[in-house]
Amino acid sequence: MHLPWVGGLSDSSGAIDARAIMAMLDHAASAAVYRVVAPAIPIATLDLRVAFAGAAPPGCALDFTARTSPAEGGVARVEAVARVAPDGVEVASAAASFFVGASPGGDAERGDGGGVVPGMERQGAAHFASFDAFLGIQHQPAGACLPFMPRLIGAEALPALHGGAVAALLATAACDLAAAQPTRLAAINVQYLRAGRAEESTAAATWTKRGARANFVSAIATQAHGTREVARAQCVFITQG
C-alpha cells in the first residue's frame, strides 16, 4: 500500500503522523490476511505491536508491505513494515495477530444489527487540517475522545470500528500524557478486548513508570460512558535531548 504525503496527515514537523502510520500498518496487515482467507470470512485485530525506527522525513510519502502465512487455530499472524517512498528506509514495523471468523468478543458481540452503515463514505485526509480532525479525535484533560463517524468503520458486517482508529485513539491519550517531557513514541502494544461498536469511544492514559531515558504509559479505550472496555495499550516513550 502507498500513503501519499498530505498536510492533513502531517505532525508538527511536517512528517506523516505516527498515528497515521500505526493505522496504515494495521490496514495493510488486514489486507494481507485477506490474501489467505476467503473474502466473506470476518477478521478482527487481536493485538498490534508497532516499533518506530524513527520519524518519517518531512514531506515524504510512505510505502507499506505486509506478509502472513495461512491462519492456524483461528489466528493469523502478520508482519508489516512502513518505508519511506521511494528510497525504502524503514520507518516502523509491526507484528499483528488477527481473529479469523469472529470478532474479538466472539459472535455474541454482534448486537448492532449488522449490515453496512449508511453513509459509508471514504474521505481523503487532504480535506482535513490535521490527523485529529481526520479521525475526529477531541483532546480532553483526562484523555481523548473519538466521536463515531461512518468512515471509522472497519468491519461493516458488525459494524465495528477499524482497529487502526482505536490504536490511534489510545496513542493520542498516551502522547498527550507524555507531552510534558521531550519524548518520542518508540513502541506501542495494543490488545483488542472486544469489537468497538459504532458509538463514541474515549481513552485515558496513566504513567506506568517514569525513568531518565525511557517512560512507560498505559492507556485504556472504553465505550458506553466508560463501562465497556474495548482495548488496552502499553506505550514506550524515549527521552530526547
222-241 pLDDT, tens per residue? 999 999 999 999 999 998 86
Asked whether 173 and 19 are in contact (CB, 8 A), the reply is no
Give the rounded percent of residues in the chain with a pLDDT score beyond 90. Answer: 71
Q: What is the band of 157 on the pLDDT scale with cuts at 50, 70, 90?
A: confident
DSSP strand pairing (75-84 vs 2-3):
unpaired
Asked whether 221 and 167 are in contact (CB, 8 A), the reply is no
Q: What is the band of 188 on the pLDDT scale with cuts at 50, 70, 90?
A: very high
Report how far residue 162's alpha carbon sits from residue 63's, in angstroms, rounded to the nearest whole number. Answer: 20
Report how far residue 155's alpha carbon sits from residue 162's, in angstroms, rounded to the nearest whole number. Answer: 7
Distances (CA, A) of 156 to 76, 104, 121: 20, 15, 12
Residues 4-29, mean pLDDT to the nearest whole number: 94
pLDDT at 164: 95
pLDDT at 110: 37
pLDDT at 241: 64
Asked whether 144 and 172 are in contact (CB, 8 A), the reply is yes
Report how far residue 222's alpha carbon sits from residue 202's, in angstroms, rounded to the nearest whole number. Answer: 5
Could you report the per-residue pLDDT of 49-60, keeping only the tens digit for each? 999 998 889 999
Q: Is the pLDDT of residue 221 over 70?
A: yes
Q: Is the pLDDT of residue 198 over 60?
A: yes
Give the rounded percent of residues in the chain with a pLDDT score beyond 70. Answer: 90
**38 vs 128, which has greater pLDDT?**
128
C-alpha cell at 48: 498490534
Q: DSSP 3-state assignment of 179?
A: coil
Nearest to 25 by CA among 92, 104, 124: 92
- 144 beta partners: 139, 203
Asked whether 193 and 217 are in contact (CB, 8 A), the reply is no
C-alpha cell at 131: 490527523
Report how far residue 73's alpha carbon sits from residue 81's, in angstroms, rounded to the nearest whole number. Answer: 25
Could you report the per-residue pLDDT of 89-144, keeping only the tens digit for each? 999 999 999 999 866 655 434 333 333 333 334 567 778 899 999 999 999 998 99
User: What's the mean per-residue pLDDT of the chain?
Assistant: 89
Report how far residue 208's alpha carbon sits from residue 190's, in angstroms, rounded to the nearest whole number. Answer: 15
**Dihedral over alpha carbons 66, 44, 26, 188 (to 10 degrees):** -120
Asked whether 2 and 16 are in contact (CB, 8 A), the reply is no
